[in-house]
């Protein structure tokens, strides 16, 4: 019923109101003083707790601010408080160049603990506000450098590439790169200021346990290791590489079957074997070995050729073992060309291995050993944009200038120019042809044919080779 509020009810309301504590001015001052004293005490306590050096957590340490922002506030000293509060705004990362013609890729939304810590921008009217300015090496040639007057001293100019040096600096005109220009490097080299590599971080079972990570299972059905085609399957379409891997494969092929598919194959059937856009995993897994060598053999340069196929039931063959040292992969899980003195020695090893099932299976024993890949971009295992964002938050970074970024990248990468196939030069004309004369693939096949007696077919192929155009830019 909609009865109007009774008198008694109204009286009760008024009494309740009157019972509310009413503070006299003197009480307000006293309470305020108590609260202020309490806050001061808490502040003093925290100053003591937070002053025990850079390992105390929060943004004082070299660690990223992974704790709540409350924690950040509590570790700052008084006289630096104002600037710290400003720093809690996200760091601004400016894309001066696109990344392979696109501005869309970079993000930190998938970096645990850093999701809101950095933002990306490429609106040039906001260049001055950037904390870091990114230059993607392969796009720099189209875009050029920003006007010098737009640069501020606190900004970090970051030279970034995931390509090997030979593919980073292609078509660079002289003078494009100025000396003493960049502050940081961001490359697959572990010695970069910001590591930017393919794939993840391998950990042994022990390391994973220490970190408290859930252990991976890479267990393999033993039956998947039987009935392998006794050959190395190589899917390649860049037929003239700086590492001269084509020469190495040719040389190896004299001693152990190397089946080349893709654009560098020599029969139409093999050219069509694994069309672009298909994974080819099933095909590759039929073979005892597959070739995972990079088109350029450089320190720390390990692309998806390894990472996307490391779980297949076949053994990857790589170029130089040392290039994989920092990747910390299970050492038995790959076979490297430079494990052997000569292509003949390697051929013999592979021939013996396909005959000895137990020895072959031994290369897969790591799968039962608890090897684990660190969870994506967790602290200590950050990579790429996550690592850049984290590094921008690290405290007390000294100013840094890189005198010659190209020289640095080329020197540190110490890419192979084919030296590991030089051994075969002395005896092998095909090797000489590939390594020394940069012969066309068809010429090499022809020479092989001539050497094995198929003279006419060989000569026809040499003629054909001058007509064919080659696909050299493909990355496989």
Ligand X SMILES: *[C@@H]1O[C@H](CO)[C@@H](O)[C@H](O)[C@H]1NC(C)=O
**Terminal CA-to-CA distance of the chain, rounded, Å?**
82
Q: Applying CB under 6 A, which of residues 60, 156, 320, 387 lies at the interface with ligand X?
A: 156
E strand or H helix that includes residue 260: strand 258-261
Position 22 contacts ligand X (CB under 6 A): no
How far apart CA 381 and CA 31 sit, in angstroms, is 49
Nearer to ligand X, 234 or 247 (CB): 234
| Closest to 367 in 3D by CA, of 222, 227, 230, 210 | 222
Window 372-411: residues binding ligand X (CB under 6 A): 399-401
Least Å from the CB of residue 399 to ligand X = 3
How far apart CA 414 and CA 373 sit, in angstroms, is 27
Least Å from the CB of residue 159 to ligand X = 11
How crowded is residue 290: how many other Cβ atoms within 10 Å of its Cβ? 24
Nearer to ligand X, 163 or 448 (CB): 448
Which residues 6+ apart lie within 8 Å of 9 measured at CB?
Answer: none
| Closest to 292 in 3D by CA, of 305, 282, 302, 301 | 305
Least Å from the CB of residue 65 to ligand X = 20
Q: Applying CB under 6 A, which of residues 141, 145, 220, 229 lies at the interface with ligand X?
A: 229
Least Å from the CB of residue 79 to ligand X = 22
Q: Applying CB under 6 A, which of residues 75, 168, 243, 257 lies at the interface with ligand X?
A: 257
Least Å from the CB of residue 293 to ligand X = 18
How far apart CA 433 and CA 244 sit, in angstroms, is 11
Helices of type H across 299-338 = 304-307
Least Å from the CB of residue 282 to ligand X = 14
Nearer to ligand X, 181 or 366 (CB): 181
| b/e map 45-79, b = 16+ CB within 10 Å | eeeeebeeeeeebbbbeebbbeeeeeebebbbeee
Position 267 contacts ligand X (CB under 6 A): no
Which residues 6+ apart lie within 8 Å of 102 measured at CB?
Answer: none
Nearer to ligand X, 259 or 295 (CB): 259
Residues pairing with 102 in the sheet? 99
- DSSP annotation of 134: E
Tell me the number of residues near ligand X by CB under 6 A.
12
Nearer to ligand X, 235 or 247 (CB): 235
Position 227 contacts ligand X (CB under 6 A): no
Taking a C-beta distance cutoff of 8 angstroms, is the pair 127, 163 a contact?
no
Position 259 contacts ligand X (CB under 6 A): yes
Window 162-201: residues binding ligand X (CB under 6 A): 180, 183
Least Å from the CB of residue 302 to ligand X = 26
Least Å from the CB of residue 50 to ligand X = 25
Position 50 contacts ligand X (CB under 6 A): no
Nearer to ligand X, 130 or 336 (CB): 130
Structure tokens at 74: 């509590």
Least Å from the CB of residue 192 to ligand X = 15
Helices of type H across 356-440 = 357-362, 384-393, 405-413, 429-437
Position 128 contacts ligand X (CB under 6 A): no
Q: Applying CB under 6 A, which of residues 231, 248, 337, 431 lies at the interface with ligand X?
A: 231
Nearer to ligand X, 233 or 340 (CB): 233
Least Å from the CB of residue 183 to ligand X = 4
Nearer to ligand X, 102 or 152 (CB): 152
Nearer to ligand X, 155 or 333 (CB): 155
Segment interacting with ligand X, rule: CB under 6 A, options 46-54, 152-160, 220-228, 272-280: 152-160
Interaxial angle between packed helices 441-451 and 245-253, expressed in degrees from 0 to 180 and rounded to the nearest 10: 20
- DSSP annotation of 28: H
Q: Applying CB under 6 A, which of residues 22, 24, 78, 153 lies at the interface with ligand X?
A: 153
Q: Applying CB under 6 A, which of residues 17, 70, 78, 154 lies at the interface with ligand X?
A: 154
Nearer to ligand X, 265 or 302 (CB): 265
How far apart CA 266 and CA 63 sit, in angstroms, is 53
CA distances from 216 to 149, 305, 325, 367, 430 (A): 51, 21, 21, 9, 44
Least Å from the CB of residue 156 to ligand X = 5
Binding site for ligand X (CB under 6 A): 153-154, 156, 180, 183, 229, 231, 257, 259, 399-401
């Amino acid at each position: 019923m909609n009865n109007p509020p009774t008198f008694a009810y109204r009286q009760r309301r008024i009494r309740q109101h009157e019972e509310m504590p009413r503070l006299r001015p003197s009480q307000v001052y006293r309470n305020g003083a108590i609260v202020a004293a309490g806050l001061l005490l808490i502040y003093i306590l925290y100053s003591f707790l937070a002053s025990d050096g850079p390992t105390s957590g929060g943004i004082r340490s070299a660690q990223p601010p992974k704790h709540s922002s409350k924690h950040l506030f509590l570790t700052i000293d008084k006289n630096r408080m104002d600037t710290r509060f400003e720093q809690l705004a996200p760091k601004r990362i400016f894309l001066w160049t696109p990344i392979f013609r696109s501005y869309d890729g970079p993000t930190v939304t998938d970096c645990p603990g850093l999701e809101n810590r950095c933002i990306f921008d490429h609106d040039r009217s906001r260049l001055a506000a950037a904390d870091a300015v990114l230059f993607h090496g392969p796009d720099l040639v189209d875009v050029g450098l920003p006007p010098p007057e737009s640069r501020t001293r606190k900004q970090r100019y970051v030279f970034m590439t995931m390509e090997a040096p030979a593919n980073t600096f292609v078509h660079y005109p002289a003078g494009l790169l100025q000396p003493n220009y960049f502050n940081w490097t961001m490359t697959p080299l572990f010695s970069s200021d910001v590591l930017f590599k393919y794939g993840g971080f391998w950990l042994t079972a022990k390391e994973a346990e220490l970190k408290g990570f859930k252990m991976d299972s890479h267990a393999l059905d033993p039956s998947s290791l039987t009935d392998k085609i006794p050959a190395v399957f190589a899917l390649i379409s860049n037929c003239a590489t700086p590492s001269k891997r084509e020469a190495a494969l040719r040389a190896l092929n004299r001693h152990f079957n190397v089946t080349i598919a893709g654009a560098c194959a020599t029969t139409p059937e093999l050219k069509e074997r694994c069309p672009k856009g298909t994974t080819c995993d099933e095909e590759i897994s039929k073979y005892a070995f597959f070739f995972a060598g990079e088109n350029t053999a450089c320190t720390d340069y390990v692309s998806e050729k390894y990472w996307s196929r490391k779980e297949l039931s076949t053994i990857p063959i790589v170029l130089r073992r040392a290039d994989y040292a920092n990747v910390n992969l299970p050492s038995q899980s790959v076979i490297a060309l430079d494990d052997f003195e000569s292509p003949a020695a390697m051929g013999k090893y592979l021939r013996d291995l396909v005959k000895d099932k137990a020895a072959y299976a031994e290369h897969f024993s790591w799968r039962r050993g608890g090897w684990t890949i660190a969870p994506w971009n967790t602290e200590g295992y950050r990579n790429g944009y996550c690592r850049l964002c984290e590094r921008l938050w690290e405290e007390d970074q000294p100013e840094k200038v890189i005198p010659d970024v190209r020289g640095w990248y080329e020197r540190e990468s110490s890419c192979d120019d084919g030296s590991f196939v030089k051994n075969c030069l002395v005896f092998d004309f095909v090797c000489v042809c590939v390594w020394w004369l940069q012969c066309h693939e068809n010429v090499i096949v022809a020479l092989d044919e001539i050497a094995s007696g198929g003279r006419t077919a060989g000569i026809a192929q040499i003629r054909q080779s001058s007509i064919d155009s080659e696909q050299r830019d493909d990355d496989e």
